[in-house]
Structure 1
Amino acid sequence: MRARLTLLVAATTVLVLLAFLVPLALLVRQVAADRALSRADDVVQSIVPIAGTGDIDALRLSVSAQSVPVTVFLPDGSVLGAPAAPTPAVRLAGARREALTVTTGEGQELVVPVLGAAGVTVIRTLVTDAELTRGVTRAWTTLAALGAALVLLGLLVADRLARAIIAPITELSAVSHRLARAELTARADPTGPPELREVAGALNHLAGRIQDLLATERERVADLSHRLRTPLTALRLEAESLRDPEESARVASAADEVARAVTAVIHQARRAGTTPTTATCDATEIVSARVAFWAVLAEDTGRDVHQALPSVPVPVAVAADDLAAALDALLGNVFAHTPDGTPLSVTLTPRPAGGAILTVADSGPGFPSGAAAQRGASGGDSTGLGLDIARQVATTFEISPPSAGGAVVRLEIPGP
């Protein structure tokens, strides 16, 4: 936009200068020609009275004293002054006895006949093209330099004006990008033209409204999570009352896992500040713990679980609770949407540039065409729910096509 404004002002300035400078340049040339012809005419008119007296000596002296070359053709055929042959203009003026101004290849020829006692005397002078255009080139150069200076000045003023207009727009763009990164405290400074100030005010109002809505939503989620604690406590008490110790421990462990998940939801919903904080965890430890948890259910449903984990810690730029929730969502979908006995695998591979690649695969019927990747969509045949939870921790989220057989979800997790 800045370049367009500058080009617009430059084009306008050039057009205005052309409208003024071109006629002015033509006028300068015309004035120079008129000045040269007027000077030559003054010289000729100063000789006319002397030529009318017939005094040859006085005429010769007057002609030789002039600053421009003058030729006088006497009635007897003799020539005074600058040597020149009689031109057609000289003969025509002598015949008609009237002054003429004729354009020739050398310039402008002025011829004035003078009637005397001995006959017609013709006075001739030639104003060359150099005399007609004397000073024109210098004047045109001056005008061109003036025009260029005015164009540069216009460009400078246009650039300053464009900066004054673009700066608030750039600030608005930066604030919108900060809002997109969940920096909801970002606000625009209402500066610039009235229209931009109005846009800045509207953007600030929108940011405040979004902040209020998110705060309300967080409170609702936190309240709902708190309400879940009561039935979870009752479930824990019921688990402790079971007679089978192994069954009691298993149900109690599941209840504890749900309680921890609810607590994590509360902490996340009421996390202080609106700017996301950078957290890290050991992906190897988290994935190993979650696979061990789901392995118990896999054994009960007759599923083979294959895991391929590195033997060293793999740090990733994701909170431990978020990574655990993502893996739980993927594994939960496998158990919910594939038949009992369907094998599954979990693979964690470190990335050379940092981070890791987490792959969850099963041998179920696979995804329905195009539906599973949509938020909240599930075809009921394979992993479909919870994908949005997994997508939040990944920089790249890929799902294999149905033709690959089964379902394969691949997440690229960023490094710290």
Structure 2
Amino acid sequence: MRARLTLLVAATTVLVLLAFLVPVALLVRQVAADRALSRADDVVQTIVPLVGDQEALRLAVTVQPVPVTVFLPDGSVLGAPSATTPAVRLAVRRGQALTVDTSAGQELVVPVVSAAGTAVVRTVVSDEELTRGVRRAWLVLFALGVALVLLGLFVADRLARALIAPISELSIVSHRLASGDLTARAGVSGPGELREVAGALNQLAGRIQDLLAAERERVADLSHRLRTPLTALRLEAESLRDPSESARVSAAADGVARAVTAVIQQARRSSEPASCDAVAVVADRAAFWAVLAEDTGRSMTQSLPPGPLPVAVGADELAAALDALLENVFAHTQDGTAFAVSLTAVAGGGAVLEVADDGPGFAASSASRGASAGGSTGLGLDIARQVAAVFEVKTSASGGALVRLEIP
């Protein structure tokens, strides 16, 4: 936009200068020609009164700044040698002064009628005299035009920068807001329309921040309310007579409590982007599920990169996503069905997490949000989908299900 504004001003300036300088240049040339002809006419007018006095005439034609030729009635010629030209003969016949264009320049002839006959005073103004000073004037005009164009470009660039800077700031702030930085605010500067847009964008950002804060508080409040029934559940578990049954129920209650705590922490988390080591999280959750896989006779294969792999997702969210995918494997495939967990790094940052199994695969509708073919809530895939920039459900090499998450 800045370049277009500058180009527009440059084109406008050039057109205005052409409309002004071209007529001025032509006028300069015409003035120079008129000045040369006027000077020659003055010389001729000083010679005309002396035509009757040959001695004075002979002396006068030799001291003039321009070559002057006098054709006398008796056929003699005084001054600069010259043949009788058609203009001279025409002036004798008509008895009128003439200015004629010739190859040498402008020929000026003035007849002088006397009792002895008609004499003709002739002079020639060369092309060099007609255009003397024109080239220098044109160069000055050209330099002036170039200077004005450069000045116009400089002023246009300053104005364009002053106009573009607030727009660029608005773009940067909008991208920051889109990436989750709700503290970003635009400076209220520039033209009135841009100031109004910046103010509206700041109000929108503040409104979004307030809504998110209210939502976090509501989620946190709801999570706190869940602690009361969880406490009652623990008490009920402790009152069970069967120790194994009591331990199983207590473990389930502890799992729900951990999930509630994670929800509270996530609800109260600041707007700063989360991050974690994907290798550590996936290895930890894979080790947890490996025990259950062994109990159900399932073969579990895991492929992890050797070093740390940072991703822009919180550890709790990534662990919950992997747990949801593995829970689907255990819930929707027969015991003994093999599955694999793989994590690979992506060039430029991020990772790809894949969970594949040898089961029957997903139904066509299972990839939809909230859909389930197994009678569940269908939220398992939604939990995994929330941490992924790209979420894909495919068919594994063995014909089973393959869920692929591209994590930023």
Q: Distance in 2 between matches of 1:354 and 1:160?
A: 39
Aligned partner letter, 2:21: L
Describe how 1:286-325 pairs up with structure 2 within 5 A: 286-295=281-290, 302=296, 304-310=298-304, 314-317=308-311, 318-325=313-320
Following superposition, the deviation at residue 100 of structure 1 comes to 0.9
In structure 2, relative to structure 1, the CA distance for the partners of 1:68 and 1:16 (3 Å cut) is same
Q: Distance in 2 between matches of 1:115 and 1:324?
A: 121
- Structure 2 residue aligned with 1:380: 373
Would you say the 8 A contact 2:238–2:250 is kept in 1? yes
- Structure 2 residue aligned with 1:42: 42
User: Sequence identity, in percent?
Assistant: 71
Would you say the 8 A contact 1:368–1:402 is kept in 2? no
In structure 2, relative to structure 1, the CA distance for the partners of 1:381 and 1:124 (3 Å cut) is farther
- Structure 2 residue aligned with 1:280: 276
Would you say the 8 A contact 2:69–2:79 is kept in 1? yes
Would you say the 8 A contact 2:358–2:396 is kept in 1? no
TM-score (normalizing by structure 1) = 0.88
In structure 2, relative to structure 1, the CA distance for the partners of 1:205 and 1:59 (3 Å cut) is same
String of CA shifts for 1:283-319, please: whole Å, max 9, x gaps.
Answer: 34x334423444565567x562413255966453443
Following superposition, the deviation at residue 386 of structure 1 comes to 3.5
Would you say the 8 A contact 2:299–2:337 is kept in 1? no
Aligned partner letter, 1:6: T
2:191 corresponds to 1:196? no
Q: Distance in 2 between matches of 1:381 and 1:238?
A: 30
Would you say the 8 A contact 2:290–2:300 is kept in 1? no
Which residue of the other structure, out of 47, 58, 61, is the alignment partner of 1:60?
58
TM-score (normalizing by structure 2) = 0.90
Would you say the 8 A contact 1:6–1:155 is kept in 2? yes
Query: After alignment, is 62-71 or 248-257 more displaced?
Result: 248-257
Which residue of the other structure, out of 141, 161, 164, is the alignment partner of 2:162?
164
Following superposition, the deviation at residue 168 of structure 1 comes to 1.1
What secondary structure does 1:276 align onto?
A: coil
- Structure 1 residue aligned with 2:342: 347
- Size of the alignment, in residue pairs? 406
What RMSD in Å do the two structures reach over aligned CA positions? 2.8
- Structure 1 residue aligned with 2:353: 358
Which residue of the other structure, out of 328, 336, 357, is the alignment partner of 1:333?
328
- Structure 1 residue aligned with 2:79: 81
Would you say the 8 A contact 1:394–1:413 is kept in 2? yes
Q: Distance in 2 between matches of 1:236 and 1:350?
A: 42
Q: Distance in 2 between matches of 1:232 and 1:174?
A: 46
Which residue of the other structure, out of 222, 228, 231, is the alignment partner of 2:229?
231
Query: After alignment, is 303-312 or 221-230 more displaced?
Result: 303-312
In structure 2, relative to structure 1, the CA distance for the partners of 1:41 and 1:379 (3 Å cut) is farther
2:27 corresponds to 1:31? no
Following superposition, the deviation at residue 333 of structure 1 comes to 3.0
Q: Distance in 2 between matches of 1:57 and 1:350?
A: 113
Would you say the 8 A contact 2:298–2:335 is kept in 1? no
- In structure 2, stretches of 5+ residues that fail to align are none
Query: After alignment, is 246-255 or 129-138 more displaced?
Result: 246-255
Would you say the 8 A contact 1:183–1:274 is kept in 2? yes
Q: Distance in 2 between matches of 1:136 and 1:349?
A: 78
Following superposition, the deviation at residue 364 of structure 1 comes to 3.4
Q: Distance in 2 between matches of 1:238 and 1:311?
A: 44
Q: Distance in 1 between matches of 2:152 and 2:218?
A: 59
In structure 2, relative to structure 1, the CA distance for the partners of 1:152 and 1:61 (3 Å cut) is same
Describe how 1:242-253 pairs up with structure 2 within 5 A: 242-253=240-251
String of CA shifts for 1:34-77, please: whole Å, max 9, x gaps.
Answer: 111111111111111111x2x21111111111101111111111
- Structure 2 residue aligned with 1:389: 383
- In structure 1, stretches of 5+ residues that fail to align are none
